[in-house]
Structure 1
Amino acid sequence: MHHQGNTSATLSELPKRSSQIIEIGRKPLTLTDIVRIAHGTPAALAPEVLASLERAYQRAEEISVRYPVYGRSTGVGANRLTPVNPEDSEHGMRLLRSHAADAGDPIPAPAVRAMLGIRLSQLAGGQSGINPEVALGLERMLQTNALPELRELGSIGTADLAALAGTALALTGERPTSTPFTPIGPFGMESALPFMSSSALTLARAALALDELRRLERSGRVIAALSALAVRANTQAFSRASAYAAASPGAALVAQQMRKLTKRTPVPARIQDPFGFRAYVPSQAAVVAAMDTLQLRVEQLSSVSQENPLFDFQHSRVIHHGNFHQVALGLAVDGLNLALAQSAPLIMSRINMLHEPAFNGVEPFLARGPAGSSGHMMIEYIAASAMGELRNAAQPASLGTVVLSRGAEEDASFATQAVVQLERAVKHYRPMLAVELLSAHRAAYQLGKWPPKILRGVVSRLHDELPITEADHDLRPDVEKAASLLDDLAEGVL
């Protein structure tokens, strides 16, 4: 296996959030690092990593002479007891070809780039015993944006074998890449299984879904504050005393931000509001805490060596284990999906308040015009439909199980499927927030509510980009426009 020069593709062809190069292996990857890599920021191995990988490769060769090594001196799965001829130079490539079976729709390029960055970070940990030329090839694939085509089906939360085997085939030139790529040499038996032993794609997809959700959730806080202004909600629910009484992670942050956004709002119209406002802090705090938990898991797993087997160089031995079984990751994703689902009825509660004369002080559904005008009636159905999708996505994937490979693998975390459900949940969280934004904006306008200083820039932007049309009209463009504003609605505010 040998290292080739760069192809004609350049980093200038990539969309970037920052031109600063991310050095992989010097420190653990953060969620921000992963997202930046996904969207085109250059990444490269820290200079000292290659020498460390070379030393690990040599020591792994020495240890493997003394001990049997799964996937290197044996077959895999149900073939784990079958010895492999040490002179069999094709074993590694046969293993990759047989494991590169995937199906379904292609994985989007940002997720593939994030996967490459995560896998490079994990390999930099140096316990795989992999040939350093593989890491160099992976680095060059990322730098030239020569991406393999990966499909959505093939992982069950016990390593993304198909995706990484397919990536390996692309590295060796047996599968095409999105831009020209000069292939590396064939994988030997020392590198094939270690390269596949990772949940890097599942982690990449989780990271990107979480990044989008964090932006939406922060914007949701701004929208809830606009709704509170429109219906003169009782802001006692956001007080320090209330947050302390919630006694839950995230409650202090959520309450503090809501106090900031609703400062100097009108005298409340009610002693107690429906749960959309009264229970907002504990409900949304659960979402924030679940996001924090998932981020911790993603960041930890993105820079740790979990290859099975892994080399314990301190004690000169090889360790066979089951840490590829991503139980904690799956539970963290399931927990976030459940937290989102439980928050959805409170969004519906606020939408219903905005549309109800007893709370908004104007016409039903914020309608204006001839008798019988529908106003925002039908966008309630959009929100309710999206809420149904959130509930469907919250069915815990971790409850599933399966027996594969003639019983050699008798369970699965299904963390990958939980992440797919998170992607679906985030997709449908967006239109729920868009509907609340539309109605809060229209209600405040009809009532002539002047927002507190902190929200004036948001309201001014809404008037410019989402002008009020009170006569009944096609609301699809309004919903789509509102949804497009959500990614940065909270910037400069929170």
Structure 2
Amino acid sequence: MTTVHIKPTPASPEEVVAVARDRAEVVIDAEARAAMAASRAIVDDIERDGRPVYGVSTGFGALASTFVAPERRAELQHALIRSHAAGVGDPMPKEVVRAMMLLRLRSLAMGRSGVRPEVADALAAVLNADITPWVPVHGSLGASGDLAPLAHCALVLLGEGWVLEDDGTRAPSAPALERAGVTPIELAAKEGLSLINGTDGMLGMLLLAAEDARHLLTMADVTAALSIEAMLGSDRPFMPELHEIRPQVGQAASAANIHKLLQDSEIMDSHREDLLHAVQDAYSMRCAPQVAGAARDVLDYVVQVADRELLSVVDNPVVLPDGRVESTGNFHGAPLGYAADFLAIAAADVGSISERRVDRLLDVTRSRGLPAFLSPDPGVNSGLMIAQYTAAGIVAENRRLAVPASVDSVPTSGMQEDHVSMGWSAGRKLREVLDNLGSLLAVELLAAARALQLREPMRPSPAAMVAIAAVERIADKPGPDQFLSPVIEQVRSLVTGRGLRADIEAATGPLR
């Protein structure tokens, strides 16, 4: 996708990802311009009538009852942006900022915000010029949406504030706009408020996280299958008829993946009828689809919430086609905060069960014939002992990050905003959990591949052979200890990237 057309209709998750990560060009269609122009005409009528309307002729938040004279209303909008751009801390990642700007543009284009098309043009111009506002990590409570983060974006449209340079530093926005041929805008009544009053940061993070989680949950099935094969586990618990009697959708999908990945394996065949092996495998092996599958179901819920939010107008106040301008609470981020917290809990648990399989692979008393810590020469060599320490530490961190943010409301704005969602914090936390999950699955992939190498000369499944070959291009075969940190980092790229999965699917058929 190289071009995304902005219409007075919802954007798709794929369009958000394309703009955020792949720098797709943004084009505003004529019907969106018409919708914005019609909405703006209503605001202009209110201005001429002189009646008090929140955000048009009044202050904001706890100052909502303060009337603002007509000659100061443009000044009011600029002051709003400057005062609300009050975030601190490191910059948010470029992809989050781009997603946020696109989603704000999408909301304005719905024709319920009362802004001129020129405001939307300014947002599109900054996106297309690949200019990224410097948006600090701290500042949003998910109350009236993501006020501070969006204000930092809006400030750049005025030729003020900072932009994020490619090297991670910040620079004044005015020279960056000038180099790109983008002219700063002057705001009219209500436009500053419409640029900052929305759930776009929360939603952008949730959409990007859902994209990542969908891939990682499939890779969790891959690493689980490799570990089960390496530990001489059984493939029988993953037969489809055993999951039809518990019709959980995600569980069935995960079980189908694991069952498919374990087929055509000499290692599996070698012990299929061996009574010396356990009649039932440990829960971390046998219940892998019950855990990863439940996480898939959570992801389905998250996608539903995000899809509904993409349909939504989350400004305040909103301009209705019949001429009314009404205050709403649609900017409150509770639906997104809950969803982000729920997915963080699920992803943390998928990482937890992965670490348990790693520990089992390394333990000579439970790994069914594998050497201690997967070293052919344990004692002098420690093998993957400390890789499991790393995984255990990440699991502990993910447990802390899985504590919900959305129950931690702190009242603000003179008790006008007396309940907030903390959805921004929930989204940031979710991204950390998923980043950590990628590292946990990398440790499992490395351990499982090494364990399968130690089962030679028995031939593993076709899926395992693909994974082993990919790992062997990075890491030495089992032998003397090596510097593990760069190995784990490169294996992590195999997990989070799409190439290894594509190669495995070429050998096994599509995975779910």
Fold shared, TM-score > 0.5 on shorter chain:
yes
Tell me whether 1:400 sits opposite 2:432 in the alignment. Answer: no
Question: For each residue in 1:172-221, what CA deviation from the matched residue of structure 2 results, as whole angstroms up to 9, or x when unmatched?
Answer: 21234453343333212221111111121222223223323332222222
Where 2:153 maps in the other structure, the secondary structure is helix
AA paired with 1:302?
L
Q: Which runs of 5+ in 2 are unaligned?
A: 166-175, 506-510
Equivalent pairs, count: 475
**CA 435–49 in structure 1, closer or farther in 2 if over 3 Å, else same:** same
Please show how residues 386-425 of structure 1 align to structure 2 within 5 Å: 386-425=394-433
TM-score, normalised by the number of residues in structure 2: 0.88
Structure-2 change in CA distance of 1:46 and 1:242 (3 Å): farther
CA distance in 2, matches of 1:246, 1:388: 31
Q: Tell me the residue number matched to 2:345.
A: 338
Q: 2:423 is aligned with what amino acid?
A: A
**Deviation readout 1:120-144 (Å, 9 max, x if unpaired):** 1111111001121100111111111
- State the alpha-carbon separation in 1 of the partners of residues 481 and 475 from structure 2: 15
Deviation at 1:327, TM superposition (A): 0.8
1:430 is aligned to 2:448: no
Contact 2:454 2:478 in 1 (8 A): no
Aligned partner of 1:173 in structure 2 is: 159
SS at match of 1:133: helix
State the Cα distance separating 1:457 from its structure 2 match: 2.8
CA positional deviation for 1:404: 0.8
Tell me the equivalent position of 1:51: 34
Q: Residues 199 and 332 of structure 2 are in contact (CA less than 8 Å); yes or no, is this contact kept in structure 1?
A: no
Distance 1:249 1:319, change over 3 A: farther
Distance 1:360 1:41, change over 3 A: farther
SS at match of 2:30: coil
Instruction: Flag structure 1 segments of 5+ consecutive residues without an equivalent.
Output: 1-17
CA contact (8 A) 1:155 1:161 kept: yes
2:293 matched residue in structure 1: 285
Aligned CA distance change for structure 1 residues 345 and 246 (closer, same or farther; 3 Å): farther
Matched, 1:376 2:361: no
Report 1:46-445 matches (<5 A). 46-62=29-45, 65=49, 68-88=52-72, 89-158=74-143, 159-177=145-163, 179-181=176-178, 182-265=182-265, 266-267=268-269, 268=272, 269-313=277-321, 315-357=322-364, 358-369=366-377, 371=379, 373-445=381-453
Give secondary structure in 1 for the equivalent of 2:204. helix
After the TM superposition, which of the residue ranges 413-422 and 445-454 deviates more from structure 2? 445-454
Compared with structure 1, are the counterparts of its residues 66 and 252 closer, same or farther at alpha carbon in structure 2 (3 Å cutoff)?
Answer: farther
The answer for the alignment partner of 1:11 in structure 2 is none
CA RMSD of aligned residues (A): 2.0
Distance (whole Å) between structure 1 residues aligned to residue 378 and residue 142 of structure 2: 57
Counterpart residue type for residue 224 of structure 1: A
In the alignment, is the contact (CA less than 8 A) between 1:200 and 1:302 conserved in 2?
no
Matched residue type, 2:420: A
Q: State the one-letter code of the partner of 1:390.
A: N
User: In 1, are the aligned partners of 2:375 and 2:478 still within 8 Å (CA)?
Assistant: no
Q: Is the 8 A contact 2:371 2:378 kept in 1?
A: no
Q: Distance in 2 between matches of 1:144 and 1:325?
A: 31
- 1:14 corresponds to which residue? none
Letter in 2 for 1:210: A
8 Å Cα contact 2:54/2:64 also seen in 1 = yes
Aligned equivalents of 1:176, 1:397: Cα separation in 2: 29
What is the CA–CA distance in structure 2 between the aligned matches of 1:239 and 1:171, rounded to whole Å? 57
Query: Residue 486 of structure 2 corresponds to which residue in structure 1?
Result: 477
Amino acid at match of 1:377: M
Distance 1:127 1:283, change over 3 A: same
Q: Which residue of 2 aligns with 1:24?
A: 6
For residue 115 of structure 1, report the CA deviation from its aligned partner: 1.4
User: How has the CA–CA distance of structure 1 residues 345 and 145 changed in structure 2, closer, same or farther, with 3 Å as cutoff?
Assistant: closer
Task: Give aligned-pair identity as a percent.
Answer: 30
Once the 2 structures are TM-superposed, how far is the Cα of residue 287 of structure 1 from its aligned partner? 1.4
Amino acid at match of 1:278: R
